[in-house]
Structure 1
């Protein structure tokens, strides 16, 4: 009879107990790999012995791992059919390929492919973050998603100079992707090339600047075998996407069902917001669309059904404010400010109510500040919209007795700009506008000094400057005293920047948001 020693019994018991834990914590021991222009692909990929190419780096990644890329220009082009790297498990255990924090990384592929061509079914829970994608040397897209890839997030990237669309999503079931805080511009050589072109469903585009693309800014369109349903486009700034004819919509929901565009700013396009062709149940709400060449909002054709256009501000567009084409069925137009357009309304087959086309008393229309002044005839004149609980600023709606008309809900401030607080506002407690530069003005220099002042009762104040509404992606600073100034360099050449001026009193923080247009 063979004897089993107690020590062996203990070892076997330990393995049996530990095995389930090991099996359920895949990715817990995440590894960070590094790539540098001074590295070698024969290195292990540590911070002191980095790899040379991104392609080699992604082959090392497992769920939970991160690949950091150091400053420099790289020529990698990653085709996941040829480079079939692993997938993440969830958003808490993804694969991440990112610019190393604080580094500037440009990807300029020399081949005819996108930087990332994501097609394989195993490509799930992948994060691509912080790169400048320059497609000048390629004859393709910046990113291309197809096949069965799902759950890919592209974040904090600039995508420019692609010969085709900046980002293309297509394929049988490529879906559930997220595009966050992107700068997508100067892509395309024909009217069929767009900033972002999505032919699949359940995707998110948010907090992005999309501008100067040859065709549309954001385009949602059914693929040959897929339906582009239930996409969300929110909090984007979309401008100067224009060619000729009907091409050049800032945001175009041209097919699919249940797509939504809200809290977007659209200007300088051929048309601001469009839904057309085979689209059904599209919804536009809380958007601001102004100074577009022809249409502010366009709903067209007999195959467009069930569109809802609610609580938008439509100002000074070239021909029509809101146009609904003959045969577009069951369109609902409610609670919109439509003012100073060539023709404010061109509506057929439409249920229209509580819209406003007289002077709404904007805070500063010339400076593109479309908040409502105290006493505006648009305050409390809207009708309740089910499921709509916040305005363009994210402030509660309704604030008063009833919904206000337009994208902004008046919050009871006497300020000349957008304000927010964590206490009950009273007269003269909100900060005044910045002294310099004049709010709403056009800035022509990459370096600007912003300054303002407060009363002696203010405890503290702060400036934050960003590319998106209320953001601080560019710069921020804080100081004590009765005045504050900040000099900011590296401002963008075009588009809109947002300057938040905060002040802290004994009753809480208060904020004024200012808008400036860049043109240098």
Structure 2
């Protein structure tokens, strides 16, 4: 396997080029919250609080709040809707930690706290978690069921982020009526080893299923350094990862997207259905667009493209990725300053197999990809081409499971056929695709 980011950085996490110590509780106070707790209790392990809101009122930079296993059910937001298009929060995290001393809201080891928002009845847009603070670390939480209770809006959100330098680790986001996690603004946020799946928005102003992505980042200019690493998105009714309207650079690495664009757990068509939608500004040219990067990632069996430029206005970097049985695997549709459709993208060491391989490649900077090299592709080039089991349990350190699927077989002619783009590799040259043999 290629020396993937989740392993390379097991001792250190890198955000925007600066190393940050790997997650472990620093010196600070420790508090506890449990579904059976009381906010009038002491907040100790023996006498836990009941709510994250109360924990935030007490916690300071460097403190850790352990969330015990069980279901935390919500039936209303923390304020009333001012209108049918208002936005309200079930949980607001607006108190910041500091550099090196985040406020940690972590699952208690070996337990799963489940935040179930399916009974929230407020008649406007709902955020399960609204993270407006900085230097906050959420780890090991399950977030599900955030509803959209009218059809006046596009979607609601499992977790909405507008703060900076936050970490979202080992999250399981599912069955929300909108994106599982959405970075609206802020820079330096890291989404690490998290899953977002089975999200579907039946009640939206732009059509059922058209807005429930797995992950989204639509940030404004001046907020670089947002990273998705080791994440998976599947069976979301719209796209797996969506960077439309992102005016600051985003990096996606070592991530997988499959079966997006369908009603969850079916093959019934729904929204757009791209695995990785790498930007764009609503089909219009903008002069201040941002360049994004995706590397060491896999897209397969998505309704539309595996990797899609989406009318982006400048060339993104697509390095060491695998597209399998998408329609097409790589679609580099861009737009120039005159508003004309052009191919835009820097592509190296990518592998496209089955489905439709490529579209809109004319004008791109593409070389050392499987379709450039004249190599013959067949199932025999791979250890397995199975599309089952990609949602298997993660490894004990939270990294992606090691599967044989879409990894090159011994003796494959795709081994050592790439070119050095600054990513780790073994042998004479990089292999093609997301996994190094």
TM-score (norm 1): 0.60
Give the secondary structure class of the aligned counterpart of 1:59: helix
Structure 1 position 248 matched with structure 2 position 273: yes
Give 1:114 shift. Answer: 2.1
Matches within 5 A, 1:72-471: 72-75=70-73, 85-90=94-99, 92-109=100-117, 110-111=119-120, 112=122, 113-119=126-132, 123-137=133-147, 139=149, 140-146=156-162, 149-171=163-185, 174-189=186-201, 190-200=209-219, 201-222=224-245, 227=247, 229-243=248-262, 244=269, 247-255=272-280, 256-270=289-303, 271-292=305-326, 294-303=327-336, 306-317=344-355, 320-324=356-360, 329=363, 331-338=364-371, 353-354=372-373, 356-359=375-378, 361-367=380-386, 368-374=405-411, 376-382=412-418, 384-387=419-422, 389-390=423-424, 395-396=425-426, 399-400=427-428, 402-409=429-436
Is the 8 Å Cα contact of residues 238 and 270 (structure 2) preserved in structure 1?
no
User: How far apart, in 2, do the equivalents of 1:268 and 1:28 lie?
Assistant: 42
Give 1:403 shift. Answer: 4.9
Structure 2 match to 1:414: none
Distance of aligned partners of 1:84 and 1:323 in 2 relative to their CA distance in 1, 3 Å threshold: closer
Aligned Cα RMSD in Å? Answer: 2.8
Q: Which runs of 4+ in 1 moved over 6 A?
A: 78-82
User: How far apart, in 1, do the equivalents of 2:53 and 2:270 lie?
Assistant: 42
The one of the two structures with greater contact order (alpha-carbon pairs below 8 A, sep at least 6) is: 2
Is the 8 Å Cα contact of residues 274 and 297 (structure 1) preserved in structure 2?
yes
User: How far apart, in 2, do the equivalents of 1:321 and 1:168 lie?
Assistant: 30
Is the 8 Å Cα contact of residues 35 and 53 (structure 1) preserved in structure 2?
yes
Pick the structure with more strand per residue: 1
Distance of aligned partners of 1:378 and 1:186 in 2 relative to their CA distance in 1, 3 Å threshold: closer
User: How far apart, in 2, do the equivalents of 1:36 and 1:406 lie?
Assistant: 44
TM-score (norm 2): 0.71
Distance of aligned partners of 1:287 and 1:403 in 2 relative to their CA distance in 1, 3 Å threshold: closer
Is the 8 Å Cα contact of residues 240 and 269 (structure 1) preserved in structure 2?
yes
Distance of aligned partners of 1:267 and 1:82 in 2 relative to their CA distance in 1, 3 Å threshold: closer
Is the 8 Å Cα contact of residues 59 and 85 (structure 1) preserved in structure 2?
no
User: How far apart, in 1, do the equivalents of 2:416 and 2:173 lie?
Assistant: 42
Structure 1 or 2, whichever has the larger Rg, is 1
User: How far apart, in 2, do the equivalents of 1:386 and 1:82 lie?
Assistant: 42
Give the secondary structure class of the aligned counterpart of 1:57: helix
Q: Which runs of 5+ in 1 are unaligned?
A: 1-26, 339-352, 411-520
Distance of aligned partners of 1:381 and 1:182 in 2 relative to their CA distance in 1, 3 Å threshold: closer
- Alignment deviations for residues 464-508 of structure 1 (CA, whole Å, 9 cap, x no partner): xxxxxxxxxxxxxxxxxxxxxxxxxxxxxxxxxxxxxxxxxxxxx
Q: Which runs of 5+ in 2 are unaligned?
A: 1-24, 79-87, 150-155, 202-208, 263-268, 281-288, 337-341, 387-404
Structure 2 match to 1:3: none
Give the secondary structure class of the aligned counterpart of 2:275: strand
Distance of aligned partners of 1:379 and 1:267 in 2 relative to their CA distance in 1, 3 Å threshold: closer
User: How far apart, in 2, do the equivalents of 1:291 and 1:305 lie?
Assistant: 21
Is the 8 Å Cα contact of residues 335 and 355 (structure 1) preserved in structure 2?
no
